[in-house]
Amino acid sequence: MKKTILSAKEVYKSFAHNGRQTHILTGMNADIYEGDLTVIMGASGSGKSTTLYVLSGMDRATGGLVLYNGEDLAKMSEKKLSALRHSDFGFVFQQMHLVSNLSLYENITVPGYLNKSRSAAETEKRAEELLEKMGIKDIRDHLPSQCSGGEQQRCAIARAVINEPKLLFADEPTGALNRKNTTEVLDLLTDLNRGGQSILMVTHDIRAACRASRILYIEDGRIIGDLDLAMYDEKDEKSREAQVNAWLTSLEW
Amino acid sequence: MKSIFRLIRAHIRHGKDAFFGIILLMSLITFSFSGTVSNDDVLRAEIEKNFAEENVGDLIVMIYEDDLSDDMLASLDKSSSVAGYGVKQSIFLRSRPVVDGAEEDIILSFTRRSDDVCVFNDSFDGFRADNDLKPGEIFLPYKLKMNSRMKEGAVLSFRTSSGSEERYTVKGFYEDKIFGATTITDNYCVLSEEDYDRLISDCTDHEDSPVLLMIVYSEVHIHAADGIDASELRRDLTDSALIKSARAVLSRQNIIDLFEMYSNTGTRGMAAFTMILLAAILITIHNSISAAVEMEYTDLGILRALGFSVGRIRLVYAAEYVLALAAGSVLGLLVSIPVCAVLIRKWMNLTGILTGTDVSVMKCAGMSLVMILVCIGFIFAATAKISRISPVRAISGGRDEVHFDSRLNCRIRKHPLSLSLVLRQLSTNRRSYTGTALIVAMLVYFLVSITLITANLDPDKLFTTSKGEINLLNTGGLSIDNAGEFEEAAREVDSGASLYTRSIRRMMIDGQFVPVHAFRREEDKYDLLDGRQPEYDNELIVTKNLAEDLGKAIGDTVTVSCQDRTEEFIITGYFQTVFEFGLVSMMTEEGMQKLGCNDVESAQLKLSDTSKTQEMIDMITSRFGDSISASEYKESGTMLNYRKIVTILMNSSIYTMYTVILIFAAVVVVMLCRRSFVRERTDIGIFKALGTTSGSLRRQFALRFAAVALAGSLLGGTLSALWARKMITFMLKIVGLTDLKAEISPMTFAFPAAAVCLCFFAFAYAVSGKIKSVDVRELITE
C-alpha cells in the first residue's frame, strides 16, 4: 500500500478574464504517492500546468481541498507556504529560471540557506555533492548566461533538491532542451526517483512520460486516466513507450 | 520619419515612469531657478528705475552740512572725473524716538516731503493716490512696519536740539527708494515742508548747543564722467577736502548690494543647487538609458536588423528625453508664475521696495534650453553603446556584453543572507548604482552645505546688540577720553559696573573709505581668524575681504587718513563681520585718538548687581543728564522683527531646499526602483518560488537602495567635509563672512544623510509593494 503524500479533492480553479469566467479545473481528484515519479499529461489547455500550481501551493484553488500532511494548502498563510516551498517542496521550471547574477553554485546554495533546519556547512556540502552528481562541478562559478540550457536545467534540478524535498514538482523540465540535454535531465530525474525522491512532473513528451511510475491524464480539468507502470528500466524503454502510446491513444490523445 | 515618431510614442508608453520622472525632476529645477532669477531681475529693474528717478550718484558722500563748503562743491565742478552732482539735505536724529509712549532703539533721519513720494496703500501692493502730508503727520519707510508699534495712527515723538518735544502721527508707510532696505540701519522719515523747515531752524538756531540732538546732513550725489567708473571716481577724489571731511562715502553699487544682499546670497546658493540638480538629472538620464538599453537589448537588435541605423535609434532616445525635459521646463515655468507672485512679494520685507512679480519667462526658458542642450549631448554620449549591439547576437539572446558590467567577489552567505544578496545586486549592477550613489552624494553635500550656511547666518548670532543692562545714549557727553571717568562715577553706585563702548569712524585706508571700529573692552572685540589683536596705537586688524581689496596681508603697512591726519598702521590680523559686507577694520582706541577721533558711537553699562539698575539710571540722569541719557536696555522692536523675518526667511529657505531635495530624491528612487522592479521581476518570482516571502524580498529591495543611499551619503559627507567650507565661503563672502564659524559636528552630516537614506528606504519600500503582485505562476510557461 503506497502512502499518499499529496491529495486533491474536488478541486476547482476558475479565472475571470474580461468579465468572463474560465473554468480550468472542474472537480479534480488525485492522490500523489510517496516515492512515485508521477507524470501529468494532457492536451494543451487541459489544465495540467494549473494542476501543478495548485498542487504545489503556488496558486490557490477556487474550491475543493489540496491536502498536504492533512493540511489544506489553500488555507495556509503566505509565510507557511513560503516555508513549505523551501523545506518540503522543490520546483523545476521549463525555462530554468536561475537567478541571473548568481553563479550556479550560489543558485543551488541560496534555497539551502533559507532552510533554517540546516547549517550553512551542511548546505554547502550537499551543494558540492549535487554539483558532482549533476555533472556541473567544473562550471560551478559560471553565471547562468555562460552555460548551456542543459547545464542550467541540471543546476535548476540541483537547486530544487538541495533541501531534500518530500516532493519535487517539475513543469515541462525538458521543454526547452535539445534531445541530448533532454536525455541527461531525464536520467537525472530518474536517478533521483530511484533514490526515493517523489516527483510530480508535467510533460507532453512521451519519452519523458515513459520514465514515470504512474501517469495521470487530464482533460477538461479532471483526471480521466490513471496508468500505473513498473519502475523505469531502460531495457524496457521500447515496450514501455508502446504501452504508454496505446494507453494515450485509448484516451484520444 | 513616421516610423521614428511611432517608435518615440512606443518608447514613452513603455517607459512612462522614466518619462514622467524626468518631467518632474526638470520641473523642480526650472521652478527653483526661475523663482530666484525672476526675483533678481525684478529687484534689479526696480532699483535701477528708482535710482534713475532719484538721480542717485555713482558716489554718495555723507557729510555734516556745516562741514560742506562751496569750495568743496567747486572742486567737483573742476574735476574731469565728475559729470555733475546733486545735494540732498536730511536731518539726523541722535536721540531715540518714543512711539506711543515707549522708547524705541532705532535711528531716524528726516527728509522733506516731495510730490513724488510713493505711499503704500493699505494692502501694501500698490501706492495711494493721496500722498499729502499735513503738519504733525509723518510717513515712515516701509521697513519700520516690521516694528509692531509702528502702525498708522501711532504717535512718534522726540526731543529736538532746543529741548522741545516734537509729536507726529504716522500717516502711512512710503517706499524709500535709496535707503529702504532693511540691511541699511538708517530710517529716513518724511515730514511736511512746514515741519521739516521748523526742524532745520531748530538745528541752525542751536548749532552751538553742547547737546546735539539733531544734525543736518548733506548727501552729495556725484555722477562720474563718461568712461569713469565708481572706483576710479573715488580714487580721483580721495585727496579732496569733500571726501576727507565726509562721515561716509558709499558707491551706488554699495547701496545696490545692500538691497540685494540676501537675494545675491540666494542666487549663488541657487546656482550651486541648480548645478547639483542638473548633474543629478544627467546621472538619472544615464541610468535610465542604460537600463532601457539593457532591457530592450533584443528589441534594439531587431530594430537594427530591420534597417534602423544607430543614429536613428539614438534619435529616438534623445527625442524621448528632450520631450520630457522640455515638458518639465514648461511645467516648472507655469508653476513658478503663481508661486513667484507670492514669493517675490515676501522679499519686500527685506528690500522695502515694491517690485513687479513677473517671471522672467524668456530668460528662464533660455536657461532651460541651455540645460536641455547639455542633456542632449549627454544623451548622445550615453546611447553610444547602442552602436556596439550586434543584431545577430541580440536576437540570439547573447546579452552578456551589456548585461552585467562587473562582478565583485562578495560571497553569498547564510548569515546574513539578505545582506549578501543585496551586496551581490549592488556589485553586479555597479555602474547603475554608482550613479545613484553619486546623486545621493550631491544631494547630501548640498543639504550639509545649506545646514552650515544657516548655522553661519543665524540671526541670533549676527545681530547681537547689547552687552549691558543699561543703554547709554551719548549726545556729546561721552568720549574715548572721558569714558574712564564715567566708569568711575558708575562704580560709586555699583563697584562691579563695567562700561562698554564702541567707536565707529569712516576712514580712508589706502584710498578706500571704510568704517573703522574701536572697542573699550577686550570681550567686545571681533574674534580673530588669524594673527593677533591690535595692541598699540599703530596697529589694526582688517577683514579678509578688505585685505583682498587692499591687496595687503598681515604684517603689511597701510596708510590711514581721517580728516586732516594721516598715519601708517600695521595689519596684525584678520576678522570677519557682516557689517558693511565685511569691508571693515578695527583698531585700538588709542589708534583712533591718534587720528583725532574721540567720539563714542554707542555705549552700555553692565552691572554686577542688577537690582541697582534704577539707582544707576537716576545717578546718570542727575550727574550727566545734559549729555548722556540712560535707560534700561530693551531690544529694539525693529531689530526683533528684523531678526524674526530673517529667521523666517532662512528657515523657509532651508525647509524649501530640504523639501525640494527630498522630493528630488524620492523621484529618483521611485524611477530607479520601478526600473529595477521591471528588470528583476523574474528573479523576484524565482525567489518567491524558492520560498522567500514577499516581506523579506521587499525589505531586501528597500535595503539595497538604502545601502546605495548610505554609500552616497558617506561620499557626500566626505566631499562636504572637504569642500563645503570653500563653497560656502564663496557664497557668504558677499555678506562679509569669509570663514565658517559654525561648529561642524557629526550631526551636521548625520542629519542630512539620515534624511536622504530614510527617504530612499521609505520610497523604495513603498515601490517594492509591487513585489506582492509578482506571481510565481509567471515563471511557468504554458
| Confidence category of residue B363, pLDDT binned at 50, 70, 90 | very high
| Confidence category of residue B211, pLDDT binned at 50, 70, 90 | low
DSSP labels, B194-257: HHHHHHHHHHHHTTT-SS--EEEEEEEEEEEPTT--HHHHHHHHTTSHHHHH-SEEEEHHHHHH
Instruction: Please give, rounded to a whole number of angstroms, the shortest distance from the CA of A236 to a CA of chain B.
Output: 31
> Which of A121, A127, A114 minimizes the C-alpha distance to A84?
A114
pLDDT at B323 (0 to 100): 93
Q: Has residue B661 got a pLDDT over 80?
A: yes
Q: Has residue B406 got a pLDDT over 80?
A: no
Check CB contact of B433 with chain A, cutoff 8 Å: no
Helical (H) or strand (E) element with B147 = none
**What are the chain B neighbours of A171 within 8 Å (beta carbons)?**
780-781
User: Lowest-pLDDT range, A76-85, A114-123, B396-405, B562-571?
Assistant: B396-405
Do residues B379 and B321 lie in contact, with contact meaning Cβ atoms separated by under 8 Å? yes
Q: Has residue B292 got a pLDDT over 60?
A: yes
| Confidence category of residue B725, pLDDT binned at 50, 70, 90 | confident
In the DSSP assignment, the letter for residue B601 is -
Q: Has residue B764 got a pLDDT over 80?
A: yes
Of A70 and B396, which is predicted with more confidence? A70
Selecting from A79, A83, A106 the residue whose C-beta is nearest the C-beta of B412 gives A106
Beta strands at B539-543 and B187-191: parallel, antiparallel or unpaired: unpaired
Selecting from B428, B689, B693 the residue whose C-beta is nearest the C-beta of A101 gives B428
pLDDT digits (tens, 9 = 90+) for B490-517: 999 999 999 999 898 888 898 787 889 9
Beta strands at B165-174 and B137-141: parallel, antiparallel or unpaired: parallel
Q: Quick one: average pLDDT of B594-613? A: 88
Do residues B712 and B661 lie in contact, with contact meaning Cβ atoms separated by under 8 Å? no
Q: Alpha carbon of B503 to those of B108, B562, B601, B667: distances in Å?
A: 19, 14, 5, 55
pLDDT at B190 (0 to 100): 95
User: Domain residues of chain B, as ranges?
Assistant: 60-255, 427-463+642-782, 470-634
With the C-alpha atoms ordered B568, B572, B576, B577, is the resulting torsion angle positive or negative?
negative
Of A253 and B593, which is predicted with more confidence? B593
Asked if the Cβ–Cβ distance from A52 to B682 is below 8 Å, we say: no
What's the angle, vertex CA B14, arms to CA B10 and CA B15, rounded to 5? 120
On average, the pLDDT of chain B sits at: 85
Residues 6+ apart with CB under 8 A from B198: none
DSSP labels, B104-120: ----EEEEE--TT--BB
Kindly report whether the peptide bond that precedes residue B416 is cis, defined as omega within 30 degrees of 0: yes
Q: Quick one: average pLDDT of B309-321? A: 87
Q: Has residue B545 got a pLDDT over 50?
A: yes
pLDDT in tens, chain A (253 residues): 789 999 999 999 998 877 788 888 999 999 999 999 999 999 888 888 889 989 988 888 899 999 998 899 988 888 888 888 888 999 998 888 888 888 999 999 988 888 888 899 999 999 999 999 889 999 999 988 888 888 999 999 999 999 999 999 999 888 878 888 888 889 999 999 999 999 999 998 888 999 999 999 999 899 999 999 877 777 778 888 889 999 999 988 7
Q: Quick one: average pLDDT of B628-642? A: 70
- Three-state secondary-structure class, residue B484: helix
Asked if the Cβ–Cβ distance from B412 to A110 is below 8 Å, we say: yes
Helical (H) or strand (E) element with B83 = strand B82-93
**What are the chain A neighbours of B417 within 8 Å (beta carbons)?**
110, 113-114
| Confidence category of residue B402, pLDDT binned at 50, 70, 90 | very low
Of B202 and B372, which is predicted with more confidence? B372
Q: At what angle do helices B252-295 and B310-346 cross, to 10 degrees?
A: 140
Q: Has residue B621 got a pLDDT over 50?
A: yes
Decide: residue B543, CB within 10 A, 0-12 exposed, 13-18 middle, 19+ buried: buried
> Which of B515, B467, B474 minimizes the C-alpha distance to B600?
B474
Selecting from A84, A91, A145 the residue whose C-beta is nearest the C-beta of B403 gives A145
Q: Has residue B95 got a pLDDT over 50?
A: yes
pLDDT at B622 (0 to 100): 87
- Closest CA in chain A for residue B414: A113
Selecting from A100, A101, A113 the residue whose C-beta is nearest the C-beta of B414 gives A113
Selecting from A84, A102, A114 the residue whose C-beta is nearest the C-beta of B424 gives A102
Instruction: Please give, rounded to a whole number of angstroms, the shortest distance from the CA of B34 to a CA of chain A.
Output: 45
Helical (H) or strand (E) element with B420 = helix B417-428
Which CATH architecture fits B470-634? Beta Barrel (2.40)
Percentage of residues in chain B with pLDDT exceeding 70? 93
B residues 751-780 lying closer than 8 A (beta carbon) to A? 775-777, 779-780
Check CB contact of B553 with chain A, cutoff 8 Å: no
Burial profile B166-193: b = 16 or more Cβ within 10 angstroms, e = fewer = bebebbbbbbbbbbbbbbbebbbbbbbe
Q: Quick one: average pLDDT of B467-476? A: 76
Of B730 and A28, which is predicted with more confidence? A28
Q: How many residues does chain B have?
A: 782
pLDDT at A30 (0 to 100): 93
pLDDT at B461 (0 to 100): 60
In the DSSP assignment, the letter for residue B611 is G
pLDDT at B403 (0 to 100): 44
- Closest CA in chain A for residue B406: A101
> Where in B33-73 does DSSP place strands (E)?
59-64
Beta strands at B557-562 and B498-509: parallel, antiparallel or unpaired: antiparallel
Check CB contact of B413 with chain A, cutoff 8 Å: yes
Q: Select the residue from A58, A126, A140 to test the B interface by mutation, using most B Cβ atoms within 10 A.
A: A58
Beta strands at B539-543 and A4-17: parallel, antiparallel or unpaired: unpaired
Measure CA of the first residue to CA of the last residue in chain B; give whole Å.
Answer: 39
Q: Has residue B348 got a pLDDT over 60?
A: yes
Q: Quick one: average pLDDT of B531-558? A: 92
Helical (H) or strand (E) element with B163 = none
Q: Has residue B400 got a pLDDT over 50?
A: no
Check CB contact of B692 with chain A, cutoff 8 Å: yes
pLDDT digits (tens, 9 = 90+) for A85-113: 888 999 998 888 888 888 999 999 988 88
Give B668-697 as a 3 state SS string. HHHHHHHHHHHHHHHHHHHHHHCCCCHHHH
pLDDT at B397 (0 to 100): 56
Computed on alpha carbons and rounded to an integer, the radius of gyration of chain B in Å comes to 33
Burial profile B39-50: b = 16 or more Cβ within 10 angstroms, e = fewer = bbbbbeebbeeb
Residues 6+ apart with CB under 8 A from B479: B598, B599, B600
pLDDT at A118 (0 to 100): 85
pLDDT digits (tens, 9 = 90+) for B413-443: 877 888 888 888 888 777 778 888 998 998 8
